Each structure stands twice: as C-alpha cells, then as structure tokens.
Amino acid sequence: MIEVEGVTKVYGGSGGAKALDGVTFRVPKQSVFGFLGPNGAGKTTTIRILATVLEPTEGTVRIDGHNLREEPIAVKERLGLMPDEVLFYPTLTGMQHLLYYASFYAIPRADARAKAKDLLERFSLADAARKKLKAYSHGMKKRLALAQCLLHDPEVLIMDEPANGLDPAGMRYFRDLIRWLNKEGKTIFLSSHMLSEVEQLCERVGIIDRGKIVAVDTIASLTSRLAVGAPTILHVAATGISDTAVEALRAIPGVTNVEATPVGVDVTAEAGSDVSAEVSKVLVLAGAALREIRAEQRSLEDLFLALTRGGGP
Amino acid sequence: MNLPGFLRGMPQVFLQEFRGNLKSVRFLIMALVATLVIVGGAYGISGFTAGFGGGARPIVVWPHAAVDGSGNHIAVAWVSDGFGAPLARRAVTFANMTTRNLIGEVTTNAEGFARLNVGNASEVLVEASLGTFENSASILWGFVEPYNFTVASSQDDLDGDFALDDFSLHVLDLAGDPVAGTVRVNGNVTGSLDAHGFLLLELSPGQWNITLDVAGETFVTTAYVSEGGELPFFTGPDFVLLTIASLSSWIVSIFAIVISFDAVSKERVQGTMDLLLSRPASRTGVLLGKFLSSFVAVALPVTLVNLAGIGAISAASGQAPTGSLATAFVGYSLLLIVYYVFLMLAVSTLVKTSGTAVLFGVLIWLLLNILYPIVTFILSAALSGGDPATQFRINQSAALANPSSIVGALIALAAPAALLGTGGGTALDASALGAAAVFWFLLLFALALWTFQKKASE
C-alpha cells in the first residue's frame, strides 16, 4: 500500500542538511506499521513527505500505486493525516473545521455534514461541536484531529504520535481506536515514541536513525535477530538460596554470572546455552524453595536502543 | 464546479479566508479609516478649496435692487455657475442684513431668477448654496440710481490660469428684468449681454476700461489684471479627486498589507499548514484562494469608499469629476491592491512568524511610499541641472520601478490637461506605463507563486 524507495530529503539546496538518506520501506495493505526513531532521526520529515506536504529531493513514494510526484492529488485523496501538533483555527468550531476540511473532497455538503456529525458523536465531541477550538482540551483536539482525517474515509492513515500527551485512559482509547480502524481495513502508518504502544499495535516496524532506515521487519523477527549472539539471562524467583547454592550455580558449564536479586537470583549464561534445567536441579538439591524460572525476552526497547543512537555510549 | 487541476482548492480556501477576513477586527478598523479619510477627505477638501484661489466658483449670486410699480422693494437674485450658466431650482434665502432674520426663501426659476418682495427693507442679504459651497451678496436700496439699470460684476480666475482675468457683468433693469446691451473694452466692442443680461470677458494683464452701453446710457468701470505670479491653487472636482487619490493610495496599500500580511504565516503559527497542504488541492489553488480572499476583502470596501468619495466630491462641489479620471481612480486602486497583496503573500510565506511579517509590511510600505519618492526626488533634482521639466521627466521615469508610483502615474495620466503639474499628467506615455504595470503584476504574481510553491512547507 505504501512504497517508499530511496527517498532523500535535503533542506536548503544541494549543500544543505540531509534529513533523509535513501529511505526505503514498504507498508502492506491493511497493516499497522510502526515507525520509530530518536528525536531528529527523520520521522517527521518522512511523515510530511508521505502526507504530500514536502517533496522528496530524490526517490519515489507510491501510495496505493499512485506516484506522489506525478499524481499528488490522487495520493492526497487516499490518505488522512493526523499530525503530532494538533493546532487548528482558533476561531472556528469543531463542526466548522470538519466542514471546511471536507469541502476539499468530492463530498456533497449534506453528506459532509452528516459524516462530520457522526464522527463528532463517535469521538465524544458532539457536545462541543459548536464550541470554538480555543475551548477544546488537548484530548479533545486529538480526537478532532482523528475525526478530520477520517472524513473522506481514506485508505491510508498517517498518524504522528497519536497518543502523545494523553492520560492513560486517553492512550487506551486511542489504542482501541487504532485496532478498530485496522479491522475496518485501514492501512495505518504510526509514528510514536511510545514503544509499548507500538509493540501492542504493530506487526511490522521501521526504525530510522540519522535519516537512514536501520531496520524494517516484524517485531518478532527483529527481536529474535537481536537475541542471536546475546547472553541468556534467567530470572529465578526462589527463597532459601544459600551461598553453597550460588557457588553451585556458578559451577554450571556455560554460566558466566550469578547475581542476587530481591526475589532470588539472575543467572547469566553464554549465548545459545540452555541452562534452565541445570539451574532448577541445583537449586532444588540445595534446598531452595523454587517458584519460577523465566528466560528474559528481548523487547522492542532493547531493539530500539541497540539500533539507534540510544544504544551507543 | 470542475476547476482545472492547478486551481483545485482555490474556492475552498477563498471562502474560508474571506469569511475570516470579514469577521476580523482589523478589517472593520481599516474599512472605517478608509471611509473617514477618503469620503471625509473628499467632502472636506471640496468644501475647503471651493472658496479659495482660482477656478470657477460652482455657484454665484448676482444681486440687484429692483422696485415694482407700487414702490415695493423687490430683491432680485440671478443664480448661475461661474461661467454664467443659470442654475434652476436652487433655494435662495433673503434675510435682513442687520439682524440676519430670514425674510423669505425663493426657488430659482428655469432662467435662474429668484425674486422676493421685501416691502420697504433697505438692506437685504441674499444667499444660495451648492453642496458645501455658499455664495452670498447684499442688496441695497435708498440710493438714487444714476442709470435705468443695475450692474453686478465679478473678477475671477475661471480657467485656473492663476490670473484674475475673467471679468463678468450681469445687468438688469430697475424692474429686475434682463436688458440688451453691448460692452466695449478700451473702446472696442467686445460682446453683448446675453438673454439673462450676462457677459463674460477674458482680459489680458493690464488696466482696462470697460464700457457698457444700454439703451443709450453708458456705464464705465475699470478692471485691472495683474501679470500673474499667484500661487497655483486649483480647485474643482478633478483637483480634489487627484488629491484624494494620493491619500487613497496610502490608505489602500496599508489596508492591503493589514489584511494579507499573515495570510500564510498564520497557518504556520497555528500549525494548520500541514493539514491544509495535505488536502487534495494544488499549491497554486491554495495561493490563489488566499490572494482572492485578501483582494476581495480589501477591494470591496475600497471600491465602495472610492465611489462614495467621488459622490462626496460631486455633492460638495456641485460638479462630478471627469469620468475618465474617476474611472482610473477606482480601477487603478484595484491594481494597487493586487500589487500589495501579492507582495505580502510572498513576504508572509518567507517569514516564520506573523510579527516578522508585520515588520516587513511596515518596511515595504515606508520604502515604496516614503523613502523611494524622496530619494528619486532628490536624485532627479541633482541630475536635472535645475531644469524643472527634466526633473519632472526623471521623476516620472523613476516611478516605473515602484508599483505604488506606477498606479499614481496611471491615475495622473487620466487627469485633464489643465491639471498638469498639480498632480495631473505624466511625462510617460501610456504604453510605457501600461507595460510597466503589466510587468509588475507578472513579477509580483510569479514571486508570490514561487515562494509559496517552494517555501510554504518549510
């Protein structure tokens, strides 16, 4: 659905700053694609290019088969943009905003009004429909931002930090909404700092750093790749672990470190070693009351830190 | 409505922005200021200048003391314009000279005469008005008339040549009716009284004996016409309109700047630019929508105010300005709005904040309306070697490099030749001015379009 090939963006002419450098990725139809990167990595520039706000210096962007450079209007008709900063015209009401934005699409006025009313109700903004935007809270503006990008029923939604600045209930609301939109068949390009959100919502992610894509794949595939070559850590919950038991654990072949924790010990073994059965046996024989042995999973956060500047010194 | 692709988004942006402009406080303030300056100025200047210096007075009351068969005093006023054309249906008041109490009011007949029986009153003040201009005269009885007619005379500068060389006579018999008669100037028969008893003579500088022959009686008076040298001070609707056009160009350009300075920058400041540009609209369409919304928001009140200004001049001076000059004034004001709106759209796209846009707006206005004219005036004076005609030409040529001055020159081009040198006329021919006007239009349009295409999203 979204195809980005070799996109480069240079600000300020040929000698200017290169914000994107050969960015390439694909977002399958009806998927939720997470787009991650540290501040200044090029996320917003990528989003503004996808949303047809910026033109790439080089490279090709296709949305639903339409080339952004050659058919910008066709691309615009197929996408809805929810920008990070949801600032609107302060003197317009919520309803006026939706009607103004709807007027750009081939939606009859009566249908646009009905659609706007429906969206305002769906996003719990019906009571504020006739209030000016300066009276809206941050959460209300976020919901209106989502409503405006759904007005024309676009196939692709580009969302920049949709849950940014929301309270836990608001974040959950948006998470559920994104799942529902995905079920409705929307392709969602989701940029977020909240890795837990991305982990819960996205099948595939792209990670960008210093203007270059450093990884694009499913989260499972990326984390398993990350795990290859990394030491195995077992989190052991047990009571009555004696010094003798700790020494016995250290003596297990492949174990490189044993550290006491408030609930028991963490056992670190060489990469590829499966020492969990041996650890269990040693502790039971040493008279410890074993409750749980859990191998540490590699998280998206580990992946993010490992692949971006966040993982560096 | 199916628009070409490059215009997509124009109607939507136009409607949205136009509504916003009409509701804005700055629009109301500028419309009010424009009304006060242009309409108020037109009315005030017309009334103010009508009583000064040269130029034809719009209304003249010729007073005559007559007596009817019963011995009653008949106050007679013949009302005409400065050139002796009778003014019908004008209200004429007759009042006691000492107490100023109104004796009566009479409307002039088709021949311009108003007559009132004032009984045995010996001093009557007669007065008539046209617009804001009033003219009054006194009528006295009690003298033994040496002739069987009464003479009222006036020496004016009707043609605006800075000399009081237009000598008018109005003669009635003692019953208050026109008489036939001839006029000699230094002995040479020069003309005859018309059917209303009026004659206008244009004299050369010098002293002249004016002799009036009526029914065998001879009346002699002397007229003196100076060599001139009076300060040129024009009056009349065209001169007032030219003066107003200068004031108007300042107000109109400020109006255009005030409405359009943040047309683009506010989208950036509000954070709405990305949402707007992601809509299925072309950037040309968005820019033209913004242009039209500012242009119409300024052009509508300015055109109404300009027309009202012309109306005020006509009402105050009793005479409408020349049609071509009035049309040029209204039409070229729209061109001035176009120039400034395009210029401010380019500035508004380039700057990051509305505050910077305001600053640039003020600087541009000062440069084009104050600094540039002063600098070119000084340079033209230095380069002309003291020859006023050369200086005028240099100054006018320099106007081609300034869109504000071009509009002023185009309006001056439409002014009657009599106003040359007082704001009317130009040393440039129409084709050069027209080419410069089109050039500036294309340049500023291209500048606004290019900056918006390239810089709107940065």
pLDDT per residue over B270-321, tens digit each? 888 999 999 999 999 999 999 999 999 999 999 999 999 999 888 877 778 8
Q: Is A212 exposed, middle or buried (0-12, 13-18, 19+ CB in 10 A)?
A: middle
If DSSP codes are grouped into helix, strand and coil, which group holds residue B94? strand
- pLDDT at residue A309 in the model: 60
Distance from CA of B372 to the nearest CA of A (A): 33
Per-position DSSP letters for B374-393, written without gaps between them: HHHHHHHHHHTTT-HHHHHH
What residues are paired with B105 via a beta bridge? B93
Whether residue B454 lies within 8 A of chain A, CB to CB, comes out as: no
Distance from CA of A88 to the nearest CA of B (A): 6
The percent of residues in chain B predicted with pLDDT above 90, rounded, is 57
- pLDDT at residue B44 in the model: 81
Maximal C-alpha separation, chain A: 80
Residue A38's pLDDT band, with cuts at 50, 70 and 90, is confident
- pLDDT at residue A229 in the model: 65
Whether residue B232 lies within 8 A of chain A, CB to CB, comes out as: no
- Alpha helix (H) ranges present in A123-163? 138-150
Residue B162's pLDDT band, with cuts at 50, 70 and 90, is low
Residue with tokens 């709107």: B456
d(CA B28, CA A271): 76
**What are the tens digits of pLDDT across the range B197-253?**
999 998 888 788 899 999 999 998 888 776 654 433 455 688 888 889 988 999 999
Looking at the partner chain, which of B9, B270, B279 has a beta carbon nearest the beta carbon of A89? B270
Best mutation target among A45, A48, A61, A87 (most B Cβ atoms within 10 Å) is A87
**What are the tens digits of pLDDT across the range A143-154?**
899 899 899 999
For residue B280, which residues of chain A lie inside 8 Å, CB to CB? Answer: 73, 76-77, 104-105
Residue B407's pLDDT band, with cuts at 50, 70 and 90, is very high
Flag if A76 and B270 touch (Cβ within 8 Å): no
d(CA B50, CA B55): 8
- pLDDT at residue B233 in the model: 41
What residues are paired with B268 via a beta bridge? none
Contact A201, A215 (CB under 8 A): no
Flag if A148 and B275 touch (Cβ within 8 Å): yes
- Average pLDDT value for residue range A283-311: 77
pLDDT(A112) > 90 = yes
Task: Report, in angstroms and rounded to the nearest whole number, the Rg of chain B calculated over CA atoms.
Answer: 29
Average pLDDT, chain A: 86
Angle (CA) A46 A182 A301, round 5°: 55
Best mutation target among A44, A66, A76 (most B Cβ atoms within 10 Å) is A76
Flag if B270 and A90 touch (Cβ within 8 Å): yes
Q: Is 0.80 surpassed by the pTM of this model?
A: no
What residues are paired with B192 via a beta bridge? B182
